[in-house]
């Protein structure tokens, strides 16, 4: 039999374990032209929360009582497709199933000799690509500028900060614990950190940590942290809206301060970004990230949860900040 995880309910507010349903199905058999895949590492990501809602977005919502999906690294364990050999590894958008068949469309082969398999879900996968391509397209980082990053010890944020250091910036990170601040400074080379959970006045804390103001703010969290960053933004500052995790479980979007005045007076560029719009640039971006990794110019952290049955809990833990670096589930 084959284990599958489905969406049981559309959560209101914070998702719970009972919003997911475990079920069993017959072991799938690959038809002519298909391969049989065994999941090895499954990515859990904050954006999946949006897909649990039945609203129009840039990606279709999950269907109720149907399998969830995310990026997965899998091994080809049977092949009826001449493009794939048994024993090869692939990654792509796949269902939360231990075993599944595929035509191979949309899957990319990965080389376990080049990097550990889980890295293709993080630093050499969509979160590394998000950091690299968004900075390249929008940030226009210049040496000596101050780059402020929120969600700074996570998968995207830790990569953003390290690229900022490569570009010669002063990098300040915002994260949810002192342990995460130490990780940012000691492992990723950030210059300064702010623990937003133990800070009463974020606007003052950002001003103190960024005495020359903020030239580029990389926003992974939105909400009040975005407000504090904008209140410290410099003339011609750039703001990259990558994500807004602080709002993902809100039942109604909270009313915040209006930012038009700051944007006009400081001639700020504020731009949203979706990595999926840049598939054509993935190849060269992965090459650059892999080279930096090999040269020791960047590194990464992972939180690896073991076991298929723990996928939902690993996903829920993202909203409690239980991960450092990329959260992945090893099957
Ligand atoms: N636009 C795109 O194409 C794209 C692609 C990938 C990811 N993203 C977005 O990028 C952001 C980071 O994603 P990721 O995969 O790298 O996740 P991550 O940062 O590795 O994990 C999520 C982190 O968010 C922080 N967090 C949770 N609730 C929070 C809250 N209420 N306020 C502030 N921080 C909170 C937690 O760290 P703390 O302990 O610091 O709270 C947690 O560890 C997300 O918003 C995601 O949706 C966007």
Do 159 and 271 have their domain in common? yes
In the chain, the number of structural domains is 2
Is the pLDDT score of 114 beyond 90? no
Of the pLDDT bands very low, low, confident and very high (cuts 50, 70, 90), residue 95 is very high
Query: What pTM value is reported for the model?
Result: 0.97
**Is there an atom of ligand 1 within 6 Å of 159 CB?**
no
**Is there an atom of ligand 1 within 6 Å of 156 CB?**
yes
Average model confidence (pLDDT) for the chain?
97
Which one of 245, 246, 278, 328 would you pick to mutate in the ligand 1 pocket, going by the greatest count of ligand atoms within 8 A of its CB? 245
Do 57 and 137 have their domain in common? no
What are the CA-CA distances from residue 326 to residues 44, 137, 153, 194 (Å)? 9, 23, 9, 20
Do 198 and 326 have their domain in common? no
Do 228 and 254 have their domain in common? yes
Scored b (16 or more CB within 10 A) or e, 65-91 reads eebbbbbbbbbbebbebeebeeebbbb
Identify the pLDDT of residue 127. Answer: 97
Is the pLDDT score of 110 beyond 90? yes
Identify the pLDDT of residue 8. Answer: 97
Do 6 and 74 have their domain in common? yes
Identify the pLDDT of residue 210. Answer: 98
Is the pLDDT score of 286 beyond 90? yes
**How far is the C-alpha of 106 from the C-alpha of 57, rounded, in Å?**
21
- Tokens 């400081």 locate to 266
**How far is the C-alpha of 124 from the C-alpha of 4, rounded, in Å?**
27
Name the residue at shortest CA distance from atom 44 of ligand 1: 243
Do 251 and 215 have their domain in common? yes
Is the pLDDT score of 177 beyond 90? yes
Q: What is the CA radius of gyration of the chain?
A: 20
Which one of 157, 220, 227, 285 would you pick to mutate in the ligand 1 pocket, going by the greatest count of ligand atoms within 8 A of its CB? 220
**Is there an atom of ligand 1 within 6 Å of 70 CB?**
no
Scored b (16 or more CB within 10 A) or e, 137-173 reads ebbebeeebbbbbbbbbbbbbbbbbbbbbebebbbbb
Do 59 and 188 have their domain in common? no
Let me know: does 42 contact 331? Beta carbons within 8 Å.
yes
Ligand 1 centroid to Cα of residue 244, in Å, is 7
Do 31 and 63 have their domain in common? yes
Residue range 319-323: mean pLDDT, rounded: 98
**Is there an atom of ligand 1 within 6 Å of 146 CB?**
no
Work out the percent of the chain whose per-residue pLDDT is above 70.
Answer: 100
Do 213 and 323 have their domain in common? no
Do 90 and 115 have their domain in common? yes
Do 136 and 271 have their domain in common? yes
Ligand 1 centroid to Cα of residue 52, in Å, is 17
| CATH at 15 | 3.90.180.10
Work out the percent of the chain whose per-residue pLDDT is above 90.
Answer: 99
Which one of 154, 277, 329 would you pick to mutate in the ligand 1 pocket, going by the greatest count of ligand atoms within 8 A of its CB? 154
Ligand 1 centroid to Cα of residue 122, in Å, is 13
Residue 56 structural domain: 2-122+300-330
Is the pLDDT score of 204 beyond 90? yes
């Amino acid at each position: 039999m084959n284990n599958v995880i489905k969406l049981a309910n559309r959560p209101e507010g914070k998702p719970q374990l009972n919003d997911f349903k475990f079920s069993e199905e017959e072991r799938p058999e690959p038809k002519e032209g298909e391969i049989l895949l065994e999941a090895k590492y499954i990515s859990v990501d904050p954006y999946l929360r949006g897909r649990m809602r039945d609203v129009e977005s840039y990606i279709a919502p999950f269907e109720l009582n149907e399998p969830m999906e995310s990026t997965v690294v899998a091994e080809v364990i049977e092949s009826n497709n001449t493009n794939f050999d048994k024993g090869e590894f692939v990654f792509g958008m796949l269902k939360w199933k231990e075993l599944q068949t595929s035509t191979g469309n949309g899957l990319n082969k990965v080389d376990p000799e080049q990097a550990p398999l889980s890295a293709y879900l993080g630093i050499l996968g969509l979160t590394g690509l998000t950091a690299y391509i968004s900075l390249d397209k929008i940030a226009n980082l210049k040496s000596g500028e101050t780059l402020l990053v929120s969600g700074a010890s996570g998968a995207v944020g830790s990569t953003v900060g390290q690229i900022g250091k490569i570009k010669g910036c002063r990098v300040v990170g915002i994260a949810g614990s002192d342990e995460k601040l130490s990780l940012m400074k000691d492992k990723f080379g950030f210059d300064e950190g702010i623990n937003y959970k133990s800070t009463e006045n974020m606007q003052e804390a950002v001003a103190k940590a960024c005495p020359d103001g903020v030239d580029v703010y990389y926003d992974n969290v939105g909400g009040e942290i975005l407000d504090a960053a904008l209140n410290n933004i410099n003339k011609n500052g750039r703001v990259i809206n990558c994500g807004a995790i602080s709002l993902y479980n809100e039942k109604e979007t909270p009313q915040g301060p209006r930012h038009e005045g700051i944007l006009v007076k400081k001639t700020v560029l504020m731009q949203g970004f979706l990595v999926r719009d840049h598939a054509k640039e993935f190849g060269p971006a992965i090459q650059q990230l892999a080279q930096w990794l090999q040269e020791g110019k960047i590194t990464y952290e992972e939180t690896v949860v073991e076991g298929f049955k723990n996928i939902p809990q690993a996903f829920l833990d993202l909203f409690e900040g239980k991960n450092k670096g990329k959260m992945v589930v090893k099957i």
